[in-house]
Chains A and B, each alone.
Chain A
């Protein structure tokens, strides 16, 4: 076994070698065999989401523990823990709505005559707090369905009106500048 006593000169030579190798590789365009082309699409390493160990500032997650050989603290490597959700995780029982006495409504279908609804709506419009709640639900619903991007503030502004009318257009409802019973019904918002 050869042993270099002058480690310093060895280092210099080694560095030259690796530099050479690097420049040699630069010109190579390695292409995958056709069978393995799909590998190009894989994000293989989860490293992209973690910071690489930097020698100086290491902001690293402390998942694994290293132990050490020389007169060592292999003992101190024990420990570490489970990674568990920070808060209580919901037990995974799938809800079984199917078997339950109530199934979820998909589209509300009012059983109450229209005229009565219209009267109710007029009444609600007189109650400032109720109206604000209704508009907020309209905004939430239109936002969840992708029609409304404005503030969730319970105020009927131009953006809310515009969103309502886009919704009406898509769903074949009559355009309007105000809330109407047909649109509210369609949005699953019934009033009392």
Chain B
């Protein structure tokens, strides 16, 4: 699943806080933003989010209504899984207590312990 732009994040916030599926107009009204947003902007953002797989849409009368595909917690769990899967990539994050050591790192540690033990 793709990442989020700033406005996309705000729209997801709105959808996660809502109890029911929302129309574009509802999302627009719920968004608190420094400058007023155009209806078409929100429509485009929701369309992008749909394309990225973050929101689901269904027809309600003449308009679409939008819901988040997964809950905030589920999305968080997925982000965490991505980080854990990439944890060999140490230049990104330093991941405490769950990271598997690379073969080179294990070799360094084993050698150090062997030498320490033999003294």
**Is B a genuine binding partner of A?**
no
Q: Which residues of A contact B (CB under 8 A)?
A: none
Binding site for A on B (CB under 8 A): none
